[in-house]
């Protein structure tokens, strides 16, 4: 994380450094990111850079904290449209609301996604804590769904977590990659065509986990049919 000298800077200067870092990671990822370009585009000296950060990974870790704060602020006033949603409806709402956040911060989201997922760092040791927190939240959601009779109790919970996590990451990557090609990413995400695409992706995930109609029918009912 940044050194205290970074936080002592005026807000405008901090934002300029963060903006330069976002552009760099969105374009090049972490492995090919250049400290020299970040320095040049933020208008600071290389010596100053190392007074603020240990290295380029330290800058990226700061971007993670930035996006976490932005998400916390964004979601604090967001509420599901009704309180009677089942687990899959709630998951769909979360995904779509998350997409709305991504469209408000497309470059920041692209920078984070490129490093974590395109470069595979999300699955490495460095981000094990982040991955563990995400998995715990999904595990709780799936276990509650099982208690509510929404998910087949024979489903392996660990596999279900992996499926839901992979699906949500894949949808995010799709939206960012396709959205960045659009003139108006917000308008594109909110379009009926894009919303339908998201629904179809979630439908495939949901009905790979949800009980089939025959499983809901009791053996006695099946006998009488």
**Domains contained in the chain, number:** 2
- 154-159's contacts with Cβ under 8 Å and 24+ in sequence apart are 155/209
> 195 with 94, same domain?
yes
pTM: predicted TM-score of the whole model, two decimal places:
0.77
The predicted structure's pLDDT at residue 54: 96
At 212, the pLDDT band (50, 70, 90 cuts) reads: low
List the structure tokens of 6.
Answer: 């970074």
> 163 with 118, same domain?
yes
- Quick check: 159 and 185 in contact, CB under 8 A? no
* Domain assignment of residue 11, given as a range: 4-64
Q: Cα–Cα–Cα angle for 77, 186, 78, nearest 5°?
A: 10
> 86 with 148, same domain?
yes
* Summary mean pLDDT of the chain: 86
> 195 with 91, same domain?
yes
> What mean pLDDT is predicted for residues 91-111?
87
Percent helix, strand and coil across the chain, each rounded to 5? 75, 0, 25
Q: Assess if residue 213 is contained within a domain.
A: yes
> What would the pLDDT profile of 45-77 be if each residue is shown by its tens digit?
999 999 999 999 999 999 999 999 999 999 998
Which of 41, 64, 87 is the last residue before a domain boundary?
64
> 123 with 182, same domain?
yes
> What mean pLDDT is predicted for residues 11-35?
95
Angle between helices 11-28 and 56-75 (to 10 degrees): 110
């Amino acid at each position: 994380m940044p050194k205290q000298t970074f936080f002592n800077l005026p807000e405008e200067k901090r934002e300029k450094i963060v903006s330069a870092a976002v552009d760099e990671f969105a374009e090049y990822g972490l492995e090919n990111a250049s400290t020299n370009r970040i320095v040049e585009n933020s208008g600071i000296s290389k010596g100053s850079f190392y007074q603020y950060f240990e290295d380029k990974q330290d800058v990226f870790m700061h971007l993670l904290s930035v996006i976490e704060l932005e998400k916390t602020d964004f979601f604090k006033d967001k509420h599901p449209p009704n309180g009677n949603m089942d687990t899959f409806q709630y998951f769909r709402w979360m995904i779509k609301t998350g997409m709305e956040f991504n469209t408000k911060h497309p470059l920041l989201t692209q920078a984070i996604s490129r490093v974590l997922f395109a470069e595979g760092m999300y699955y490495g040791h460095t981000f094990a804590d982040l991955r563990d927190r995400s998995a715990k939240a999904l595990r709780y959601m799936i276990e509650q769904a099982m208690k509510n009779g929404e998910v087949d109790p024979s489903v392996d919970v660990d596999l279900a977590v992996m499926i839901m996590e992979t699906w949500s990451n894949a949808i995010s990557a799709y939206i960012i990659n396709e959205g960045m090609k659009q003139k108006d990413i917000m308008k594109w995400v909110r379009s009926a065509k894009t919303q339908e695409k998201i629904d179809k992706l979630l439908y495939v995930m949901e009905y790979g986990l949800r009980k089939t109609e025959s499983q809901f029918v009791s053996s006695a009912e099946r006998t009488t049919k």
